[in-house]
């Protein structure tokens, strides 16, 4: 029996900043962002969006495509995020209600920077192995924020990915071996009292590649596939150039042939969506997977994909999956394209107005004006409680 990703969709905010409008503010050429970092745009959350609304939007099409029995078979929801909205209650519990899932389910939130989505996927696979009749809904949802004016600012973004993990998956079967690497390093973190991350940019790039080395070596020690037996590579993408750098690093340490054209072909299709979205932390690598599946012109059925998931702090995992025959019939490429094309562009002053999250601490009644055209929104924070609602867009998505 094979286990893996049966369905996958992503969501992002419905507005974006073109990095051509950020470069002059930072006094740099736009090529520093488009070429140096490999980023064109960043998604920017409206004041009525957060990780809950993004997560619910990503999962809505998956749930809408299930019948009553299918929905009842989702007995676990794992939500990975490092942009949590509460120290106690899981963001996933709000999402569970917004999606109308069965009360006969467990819901939990996982955290280890950008890596947590992969831990959720691995735990989901273990649960499905125990009972192949059950489905696990894995959601990765994040809003990446750095200080305004900092070097991390052009790598901001936001997004969520929802994956249905099942037996006999229709998209990608995940293979059992993983290479793991953990090391206590202060490359990027966000203390409880901050809304933006603290980062040592140079160290973070070194920590990422060190982790890749460790995870690759462990995968080999575990008996995992050789470099030459992997057809495409999906890396965590804090900015897409990082994936290109990581791939060059892996080819070096794996002693693989270093033909520039072949190396580019092994990652190019994984980068397309994230160039337009920016960093979405836990969701980023899985948006990279969607990008590969949605854009590959050749049929990838039977191809082996290598995944490298990295979360600062730092945990890395390298694992592989095999694309399933007939996967193309189950992709959501047109919806993903529409989502990105229909975003509204904001100017730099507009971005500055909406980039800070709504975060009243007085326990009063704070109504939040409708802005987003996404299927779910936060309508108020009242008595310290976040209030969420479906919008007309959710009903349109169902119709
Ligand atoms: P910086 O100091 O502004 O940029 O910060 P730089 O000076 O290093 O330049 C960046 C690249 O642009 C360089 O390319 C320049 O040469 C090039 P490289 O040499 O590295 O290949 N460049 C140009 N190219 C074309 N035309 C030009 C031009 N000028 C310069 N005119 C940094 C860059 C990434 C450090 C910063 O954006 C940052 O701190 N970002 C946040 C941290 C980050 O993303 N780290 C990545 C690894 S850690 C990770 O992935 C985990 C994370 O997702 C969090 C989590 O796990 O939760 C972040």
Q: Where are the beta strands (DSSP E) in the chain?
A: 3-11, 15-18, 41-43, 74-80, 106-110, 135-144, 157-167, 172-182, 188-189, 198-199, 232-235, 304-311, 315-323, 344-345, 365-367, 376-382, 385-390
Pocket test for ligand 1, best of 204, 215, 310 (most atoms within 8 A of CB): 204
| CB of 211 closer than 8 Å to CB of 316 | yes
Q: Catalytic positions, please?
A: 82, 114, 236
Looking at residue 399, its pLDDT comes to: 54
pLDDT along the chain (399 residues), means of 10: 98 98 98 98 97 98 97 98 97 98 98 98 98 98 97 98 98 98 98 95 98 98 98 98 98 94 97 98 98 98 98 98 98 98 97 88 94 96 97 74
In the sheet that holds 376-382, the strands lie side by side as: 365-367, 376-382, 385-390
Structure tokens at 339: 């989502």
Nearest CA to ligand 1 atom 20: 36
Give the other-Cβ count within 10 Å of 47's Cβ.
18
Do the strands 74-80 and 106-110 form a parallel or antiparallel pair, or are they unpaired? parallel
3-class secondary structure, 116: helix
Distance 198 CA to ligand 1 centre (A): 15
Give the other-Cβ count within 10 Å of 301's Cβ.
12
Looking at residue 51, its pLDDT comes to: 98
Give burial (CB, 10 Å; 0-12/13-18/19+) of 104. exposed
Do the strands 172-182 and 157-167 form a parallel or antiparallel pair, or are they unpaired? unpaired
Q: What is the 3-state secondary structure (H, E, C) of 266-324?
A: HHHHHCHHHHHHCCCHHHHHHHHHHHHHHHCCCCCCCCEEEEEEEECCCEEEEEEEEEC
Give the other-Cβ count within 10 Å of 309's Cβ.
28
Name residues contacting ligand 1 (CB within 6 A). Answer: 29, 31-32, 35-37, 82, 113-114, 151-152, 155, 187-188, 199, 201, 204-205, 208, 236, 238-239, 242, 279, 281, 310-312
Pocket test for ligand 1, best of 201, 211, 287 (most atoms within 8 A of CB): 201
């Amino acid at each position: 029996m094979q286990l893996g990703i049966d369905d996958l969709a992503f969501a992002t905010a419905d507005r974006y900043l073109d990095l051509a409008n950020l470069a002059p503010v930072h006094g740099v050429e736009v090529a520093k962002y488009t070429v140096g970092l490999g980023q064109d745009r960043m998604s920017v959350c409206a004041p009525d969006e957060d990780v809950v609304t993004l997560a619910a939007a990503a999962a809505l099409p998956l749930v809408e495509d299930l019948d009553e029995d299918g929905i009842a078979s989702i007995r676990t929801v794992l939500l990975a995020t490092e942009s949590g909205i509460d120290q106690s209650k899981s963001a996933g519990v709000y999402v569970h209600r917004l999606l109308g899932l069965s009360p006969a389910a467990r819901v939990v939130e996982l955290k280890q920077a950008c890596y947590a989505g992969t831990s959720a996927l691995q735990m989901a696979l273990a649960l499905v192995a125990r009972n192949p009749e059950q489905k696990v809904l894995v959601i990765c949802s994040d809003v990446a924020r750095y200080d305004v004016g900092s070097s991390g600012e052009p790598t901001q973004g936001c997004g969520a990915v929802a994956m249905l993990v099942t037996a006999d998956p229709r998209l990608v079967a995940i293979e059992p071996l993983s290479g793991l690497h953990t090391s206590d390093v202060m490359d990027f973190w966000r203390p409880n009292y901050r809304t933006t991350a603290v980062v040592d940019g140079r160290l973070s790039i070194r920590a990422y590649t060190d982790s890749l080395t460790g995870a690759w070596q462990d995968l080999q020690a575990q008996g995992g596939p050789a470099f030459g037996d992997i057809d495409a590579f999906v890396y965590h993408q804090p900015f897409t150039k990082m994936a290109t750098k990581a791939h060059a690093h892996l080819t070096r340490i794996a002693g693989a042939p270093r033909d520039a054209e072949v190396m580019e072909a092994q990652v190019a299709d994984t980068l397309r969506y994230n160039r337009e979205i920016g960093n979405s932390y836990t969701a980023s690598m899985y948006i990279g997977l969607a990008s590969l599946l949605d854009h590959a012109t050749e049929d990838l059925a039977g191809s082996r994909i290598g995944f490298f998931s990295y979360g600062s702090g730092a945990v890395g995992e390298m694992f592989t999956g095999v694309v399933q025959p007939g996967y193309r019939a189950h992709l959501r490429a047109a919806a993903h394209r529409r989502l990105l094309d229909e975003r509204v562009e904001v100017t730099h002053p507009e971005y500055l107005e909406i980039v800070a999250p709504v975060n009243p601490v007085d326990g009063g009644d704070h109504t939040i004006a409708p802005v987003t055209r996404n299927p779910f929104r936060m309508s108020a924070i009242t008595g310290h409680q976040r209030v969420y609602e479906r919008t007309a867009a959710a009903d349109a998505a169902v119709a």
